[in-house]
Amino acid sequence: MEVRVKILFTSICHTDLSAWQGENEAQRAYPRILGHEASGIVESVGEGVTDMKEGDHVVPIFNGECGDCIYCKREKTNMCERSGVNPFKTVMVNDGKSRFSTKDGKPIFHFLNTSTFSEYTVLESACVVKVEPEVPLKKMTLLSCGVSTGVGAAWNTADVKAGSTVAVFGLGAVGLAVAEGARARGASRIIGVDINPNKFVKARAMGITDTINPTDQEKPANEVIREMTGGGVDYSFECAGNLDVLREAFLSSHEGWGLTVVLGIHPTPRMLPLHPMELFTGRIIVASVFGGFKGKTQLPHFARECMKGVVNLDEFITHELPFEKINDAFQLLTDGKSLRCLLHF
């Protein structure tokens, strides 16, 4: 039930950056092959794999779908007991060993079920999605993580309604994917919040109708948004991985029905910045993993929707570099100059 994939394209997400920097001490494991957003071609399949064959075009997914466990059989979740996202997992399920090693036989650990910063990688078949051969693999790379996470959060988790108001905190790739998803659903107003004003031009081109730089405001961002919208937005999305930002996002939603979706990756050990009584105002807070998509069964349809132009994938690819310049790509992301830098082998 394993698949070996030749990686053709991979890109860098903030999760790779935080793992590389070891921000969460509990998740550290070295040496490790990072990377989880990619596309490629099946090189070979292992025993028991029947839904893929050599030559198929595929997208790796960090949150797998085995199809057999109690989670996969439930419509209300995209978790998977066997192959779901697990940042502590460093080896394969079958034998508890790695498929990577140094020349002298020492193991190199896996990362997020995928490890795509490699010419070849081995994944559990539950973490590989077959896509139609006519769709451009370069664009399909984005569906491995960022775009699926953001758009899915707007469509599946929040179920944004036409005419509603939305606030997006953090205008990186995931935040702008949320904006794209909200725009496609007909949101009337999409407010983008970020401390980097250089992101605003791109944001407005991708569905953001209003922008706020909290450092330029005399009041907290949540108060500004509540004044702009007559009480708060219908949906707010936290895409920064910052607990202070999460609180602002929560408070920017409307009392009585506002929904806040957590998408940022938060380092330990700080906890939610909310008092339980604050939930009695009717505001709701939830998290979204991989945008609520069941990868194997729902991602191929999403790919077709993207190819029809429902979501504009081209806008997310801001840079392209050969894989050997991966350090330059990391620097672009660190400096806030790229949404997605696509690396090709």
203: DSSP letter: H
pLDDT of res. 249: 98
pLDDT of res. 267: 81
pLDDT tens-digit profile, the chain (345 residues): 999 999 999 999 989 999 998 888 878 999 999 999 999 999 999 999 999 999 999 999 999 999 999 999 999 999 999 999 999 999 999 999 999 999 999 999 999 999 999 999 999 999 999 999 999 999 999 999 999 999 999 999 999 999 999 999 999 999 999 999 999 999 999 999 999 999 999 999 999 999 999 999 999 999 999 999 999 999 999 999 999 999 999 999 999 999 999 999 888 788 999 999 999 999 999 999 999 999 999 999 999 999 999 999 999 999 999 999 999 999 999 998 999 999 999
DSSP 3-state of 287: strand
pLDDT of res. 268: 76
pLDDT of res. 296: 97
Question: Which residue has 């999305």 as its token pair?
Answer: 237
CATH number belonging to domain 2-144+315-344:
3.90.180.10
Question: If you classify domain 150-289 with CATH, what class do you get?
Answer: alpha beta
Question: Which residue has 């009041």 as its token pair?
Answer: 219
Location of each CATH 3.90.180.10 domain in the chain: 2-144+315-344
Query: Is the peptide bond preceding residue 136 cis, with omega within 30 degrees of 0?
Result: no
pLDDT of res. 26: 76
Residues 82-98 have pLDDT tens digits of 999 999 999 999 999 99
DSSP 3-state of 342: strand
Rounded-to-5 percentages of helix, strand, coil across the chain = 35, 20, 45
Q: Is the dihedral of CA 245, 246, 249, 254 positive or negative?
A: negative
Is residue 183 classed exposed, middle or buried when 0-12, 13-18 and 19+ CB atoms within 10 A define those classes? Answer: buried
- Please tell me the distance from the alpha carbon of residue 228 to that of residue 127, in angstroms, as a whole number: 43
- Please tell me the distance from the alpha carbon of residue 178 to that of residue 152, in angstroms, as a whole number: 8
Location of each CATH 3.40.50.720 domain in the chain: 150-289
Phi, psi of 111 (to 5 degrees): -140, 125
Sheet containing 165-169: give its strands across: 210-212, 189-193, 165-169, 235-238, 259-262, 284-287
